[in-house]
Amino acid sequence: MDKSNLDLQPEGRFECELDDLNIREDEEQGIILEADLEKMKAEALWTALAKVNFLQTFSHSVFLANMKYAWGLAREVSFKAIGENLFVFQFSCLGDWRKVMEEGPWLFRGNVVLLEKYDGVTKPSTVKFKKLAIWARVYDLPTCFRNEKIGHQLGDKIGDTLWVEPDNDVKGWRDYLRIRVNMDIDKPLTRIIFVSFGKEEKREVFRVKYEKLPKFCAICGLIGHTKFECGDGVHDKKAIQYGDWLSASPEKKWKAKGSNSSGSTDTKGSDSWESDQGIHPKKSTESKCEEGSHKDSVGDYDDVQEDARSLMKRGRDQQQMPIRKGASKSLMLGNGEHLNVNMTMATVPVSNQIGNLGGQPRET
C-alpha cells in the first residue's frame, strides 16, 4: 500500500482513507440492524456533542470540571470522551439543556467550546462544528432602525440571524442593537457594516462588537488562534487589522435615579444613572440614615467587623494586663492639649462597645 496515503496517528499507528481501500466482496455485504431508531433518539434526549476549538491536548477531567463550574447546572450531567477532542454531554432537564445551548459562547482556557445537537444515531465524525452562536452589537444605529426587521438584515451580514433583541424591550440607555447570530468560524470576524438608506448613494458605516469573544487572530481575524500562532508569528504592526476593540464589555442594566420612588427626581447635577448590578458609589458616613431612627450611620460593613474585632482584642488584652488603680493615660486633643484620663474610669465592657457600633443611642 502506498505510504503517501497513510496518516501517522498520535499512537504511532498507520491509518488510511476508506476510499483508498480495495473492498472485498465479503466485506461489502453489510448487515441490517434490528433496532428502533425512534426509541434510540428518544433515549438521547438533551444530548449534545462538544468540541474545543483548540489544537493542543488537554486534561478531560479539567475540561469537565471547568464546564460544570461555568454552566452551574441544576441537575447532574452525563459526560463521555469519544474522541481526541470530541465529547458527548447528556443533560438531565430542559432547563440545563437550554442554558448550555442558548447562553453561550462558553470558553475553556480562552478557546471557544463548540456545541452541536446530537440525536444519538448519527456518526459522530460526520458532525460539523462550523457555527458559533454569539451575541453581536451594532453601534450608533438611528433609533428608528433598532427593530427586528432591520436587525435581521444586519445580522445576516455577520452570520445567520437567530433572533433580535428589540430596542423597545430595553429600559434605560443603550447605544447599540443586540443581535444573536450563528457565525461561521471559518470566516474572519465582521468589523463594520456599510448601510445605504433607501435609494440614496450615501452610505453610513457602523461598528460591530461581540460579547464573550473567544481567542482570535489579530492578523487574519479567524477564531481559534492568536497572531503569534498565525504563520511564523512574526508580523508588521500594519498587518494588525483586528484587536481587542472587537470585544464588547459586559452588558449592564441601568435605570434612572428615582424611577422607583414616589415622584423623586435627580436634581443634583450628578450622574443620572445607577446600576442594577449592585455597583453603587460608596456611601458617606455623614449622610442621614434611611430609616430615620438616628443620624449616625455605618459607612462600610467590613469596617464595622474590623472595629468589632479590634475592640474584642482590646478587651482580651485588658483582661490579661490588669490596670493599676489610679493609673492614668495622656490623650492628645485636637487643639494640641493633653488630657489625663483615669484608666479605671475609661474601661468599658467590650459587649457594650460592640452593641453601640451601629450608632444606636444607649442610656448611660
pLDDT digits (tens, 9 = 90+) for 187-231: 999 999 999 877 767 889 999 999 999 999 999 999 999 999 999
Contact yes or no for 106/178 (Cβ under 8 A): no
Contacts of 162 (CB under 8 A, 6+ apart): 133, 155, 180, 181, 182
Q: Burial of 194 by CB count in 10 Å (0-12 exposed, 13-18 middle, 19+ buried)? A: exposed
Which of 290, 283, 284 is closest to 261 using CA atoms? 290
* Res 279 pLDDT > 60: no
List 49's β-bridge partners, or say none. 88, 116
pLDDT digits (tens, 9 = 90+) for 102-113: 999 999 999 999
Closest CA to 343 of 363, 321, 312: 321
Selected residue with higher pLDDT from 224 and 254: 224
Full 3-state SS string of the chain: CCHHHEEECCCCCEEECHHHCCCCHHHHCCCCCCCCHHHHHHHCCCEEEEEECCCCCCCHHHHHHHHHHHHCCCCCEEEEEEECCEEEEEECCHHHHHHHHHCCCEEECCEEEEEEECCCCCCHHHCCCCEEEEEEEEECCCHHHCCHHHHHHHHHHHCEEEEEECHHHCCCCCCEEEEEEEEECCCCCCCEEEEECCCCCCEEEEEEEECCCCCECCCCCCECCCHHHCCCCCCCHHHCCCCHHHECCCCCCEEECCCCCCCCCCCCCCCCEEECCCCCCCCCCCCCCCCCCCCCCCCCHHHHHHHHHHHHHHHHHHHHCCCCCCCEEEEECCCCCEEEEEHHHHCCCHHHHHHCCCCCCCCC
Residue 67 pLDDT: 95
pLDDT value for 295:
39
pLDDT at 297: 38
Backbone phi and psi for residue 125, each to the nearest 5 degrees, phi listed first = -70, -15
Distance CA 151, CA 164 (A): 6
Hey, CA dihedral for 135, 141, 143, 144, is it positive or negative? negative
pLDDT-above-90 percentage for the chain: 46
Of residues 245 and 310, which shows the higher confidence score? 245
Considering the chain, what is the average pLDDT of its residues?
Answer: 74
At 28, the pLDDT band (50, 70, 90 cuts) reads confident
pLDDT digits (tens, 9 = 90+) for 306-343: 554 555 555 555 555 454 444 455 555 555 555 554 54
- Residue 290 in this model has a pLDDT that exceeds 70: no
Q: CB burial class (10 A; 0-12, 13-18, 19+) of residue 94?
A: exposed
Residues 6+ apart with CB under 8 A from 85: 51, 52, 54
In order of their start, the domains of the chain are: 40-129 (3.30.70.330), 131-246 (no CATH)
222: buried, middle or exposed (CB in 10 Å: 19+, 13-18, 0-12)? middle
CA distances from 102 to 8, 93, 116, 135, 155 (A): 38, 14, 11, 10, 17
Structure confidence at residue 300 (pLDDT) = 44
Report pLDDT digits (tens) over 36-93: 888 888 999 999 999 999 878 889 999 999 999 999 999 999 999 998 899 999 999 9
* pLDDT in the model for residue 338: 54
Q: Which amino acid type is present at position 192?
A: I
Rg of the chain taking only CA atoms, in angstroms: 33
pLDDT the model gives residue 283? 39
Report the pLDDT averaged over residues 9-22. 66
Q: How far apart are the first and last CA of the chain?
A: 101
Q: Within 13 Å, how many C-alpha atoms sit on residue 364's CB side? A: 1
Contact 77, 92 (CB under 8 A): yes
Average pLDDT over residues 165-190: 86
Place 249 in a pLDDT band, splitting at 50, 70 and 90.
confident
Q: Write the pLDDT tens digit of every residue in 150-160.
A: 999 999 999 99
Q: Cell numbers 489610679 correspond to what residue?
A: 326
